[in-house]
Amino acid sequence: MASDPEQPTSAKEGSSSGEIGSAREPLLIGVHHSESYSLSAAILPFLFPAFGGLLFGYDIGATSSATISIQSPTLSGVSWYQLSSIEIGLLTSGSLYGALIGSLLAFNVADFLGRRRELIVAALLYFVGALVTAFAPNFSVLVLGRLIFGTGIGLAMHAAPMYIAETAPTPIRGQLISLKEFFIVLGMVAGYGFGSLFVDTEAGWRYMFGVSSPVAIIMGVGMWWLPASPRWLLLRAIQGKGDVQDSKEIAIRSLRQLRGQASGDSAQQQVDEILAELSYLGEEKEVTFGEIFQGKCLKALWIGAGLVLFQQITGQPSVLYYAASIFQSAGFSGASDATRVSILLGAFKLIMTGVAVVVVDKLGRRPLLLGGVSGMVISLFLLGSYYVFLDNAPVVAVVGLLLYVGCYQISFGPIGWLMIAEIFPLRLRGRGLGIAVLVNFGANALVTFAFSPLKELLGAGILFYIFCVIAVASLAFIYLVVPETKGLTLEEIEAKCL
């Protein structure tokens, strides 16, 4: 790539956003032409951002085995293996708190950096964090590495949905963004697998953490090769931060690279339509902090943050916590090995996420959310009932567990990330998605922290019943608030759904 297309050419005297609307009739909402694209060319812009999700999932899977390895007096390979419960908590949750830091950073710098550069920075943080963790000489450096890696998670999980949403062809946008969740689960399975492979190796935890570094290099190089988001380039131009004509030409070249040779002359037409729609929607105005909590911006935030909040507080981490004991009570031969149970569940999650990917652009977002969350309500009721008065019928718990995992993976799992990538207006997308990702990781940390005390206070059965009630509330939220975005361009979503 001869030049970095992320930043439009500096603004020239006399250029203004007013030129956009005068070039074409601005009211193009609902009359966009079919997008021509090559499927093979469209996959690459998804693949490299999705590595950010792969590394996030890998961290979840590998950490469970790494904590076992690092506490072994014979296999840890260090003299400081006797970790307290607080230190274990810092080790396991360090990347999560780093992700919170990354989310806060993304809120402030995402629109300045652009989606592509933010993902390059995320890849760099992944690489540095993995190496610092793998070669940590003491516990403090180990936690520092976890925080650095987690900051990369926060940036990647913020920028990847935006980049994919803004570059994917409309007919397959839902599938590509949902595939990111598939990559997260794939990373979890890989993490469990590598953990199982190295758990009996001396200093195996170093290998578990260090294996992320080459994947981070591939992600960074891939993002450097990919062009900037055409929509981001055009947004910067109409806001007076670049020459409109130059930015338009760069956006056309970017779109042709993203769509492949099949795009032909349609790339220029699509750029013209995007420009006209952005002008019609008033995207040339700079977003202010207060505006985020007003009007259609507030509605988008309510939809996006609400979805990712319910995604976490309906008990997903807690249900998986009980997986090993449920399989043990059912008499499965591998149930004594938590890692094998995790791999089994991970494979099932992978299959169900694949189902969601295949049907999301055919059935739509709302049917999958309503159907999947309804199944979660039933599964949580079954799990609560098992721990309250059906403890002699472990098949109920197994059915409840598998039903929950399957329904979550066709609903909240992929659709939550998909909707927050689609629902925010372009000029608000960076900050709005930053708040949504912050809510997601914050709720995750809260549920993870509060689970053990609440279980001890209330008992597992009552806790699952509470999650069941929350799932019912989330069902009402989806039915009343969440719109259908299937088949709409991002600009049409802003015009019709907000």
| DSSP-derived secondary structure for 311-365 | HHHT-HHHHHHTHHHHHHHTT-TTTT-HHHHHHHHHHHHHHHHHHHHHHHHHH-H
Is residue 475's pLDDT more than 80?
A: yes
C-alpha distance across the termini of the chain, in Å = 38
Taking the C-alpha atoms of residue 148 and residue 210, their distance in angstroms, rounded to an integer, is: 13
pLDDT per position as a tens digit, 226-261: 998 888 888 877 777 777 788 888 888 888 888 776
Q: How many CA atoms lie within 13 A of 252 on its CB side?
A: 16
Is residue 311's pLDDT more than 60?
A: yes
Over the range 69-106, which residues count as b (16 or more CB within 10 Å of their CB) and which as e?
Answer: bbbbeebbebeebebeeebeebbbbbbbbbbbbbbbbb
Q: Tell me, what amino acid is at 74?
A: T
Q: Kindly report which listed range (57-71, 276-290, 301-315) carries the lowest average pLDDT score.
A: 276-290
pLDDT band at 422 (very low <50, low <70, confident <90, very high): confident
pLDDT band at 494 (very low <50, low <70, confident <90, very high): confident
CATH of domain 38-226: 1.20.1250.20
Structure tokens, 277: 């729609």
Structure tokens, 289: 């902090």
Taking the C-alpha atoms of residue 406 and residue 219, their distance in angstroms, rounded to an integer, is: 29
pLDDT band at 333 (very low <50, low <70, confident <90, very high): low
Q: Which residue has the higher pLDDT, 324 or 162?
A: 162
Is the sign of the CA dihedral 68, 99, 303, 433 positive or negative? negative
pLDDT band at 139 (very low <50, low <70, confident <90, very high): very high
CA 132-111-427 angle, to 5 degrees, is 145
Q: Return the pLDDT at 324.
A: 63
Structure tokens, 25: 């009739």
Q: Return the pLDDT at 171.
A: 83
Judge if 38-226 and 290-497 fold alike in CATH terms. yes
**What percentage of the chain has pLDDT greater than the value 90?**
33
Q: What is the mean pLDDT of the chain?
A: 82
What is this structure's pTM? 0.81
Domain boundaries, the chain: 38-226, 229-286, 290-497
pLDDT per position as a tens digit, 59-101: 988 887 888 888 888 888 888 888 887 888 788 888 888 998 9
Secondary structure class of 8 (helix, strand, coil): coil
CATH topology of domain 290-497: Growth Hormone; Chain: A; (1.20.1250)
Tokens 């209330």 belong to: 458
189: CB partners within 8 A, 6+ apart = 57, 61, 343, 346, 347, 350
Residues 91, 144: contact at Cβ < 8 Å? no
Q: Tell me, what amino acid is at 371?
A: G
Q: Which of 68, 73, 205, 194 is nearest to 133 (CA)?
A: 205
Task: Provide mean pLDDT across the span 172-178.
Answer: 86
In order of 4, 18, 116, 220, 317, the CA distances from 161 in angstroms are 21, 30, 11, 16, 22
Task: Provide mean pLDDT across the span 411-420.
Answer: 90
Q: Tell me, what amino acid is at 102?
A: G
Task: Provide mean pLDDT across the span 287-311.
Answer: 83
* Radius of gyration in angstroms for the set of CA atoms belonging to the chain, rounded to a whole number: 23
Alpha helices in 135-243 (DSSP H): 139-167, 173-198, 204-210, 212-225, 230-236
91: CB partners within 8 A, 6+ apart = 63, 66, 67, 70, 83, 142, 143, 146
Residues 116, 229: contact at Cβ < 8 Å? yes
Q: Which of 336, 479, 465, 445 is nearest to 389 (CA)?
A: 465
Q: Kindly report which listed range (239-243, 322-326, 435-439) carries the lowest average pLDDT score.
A: 322-326
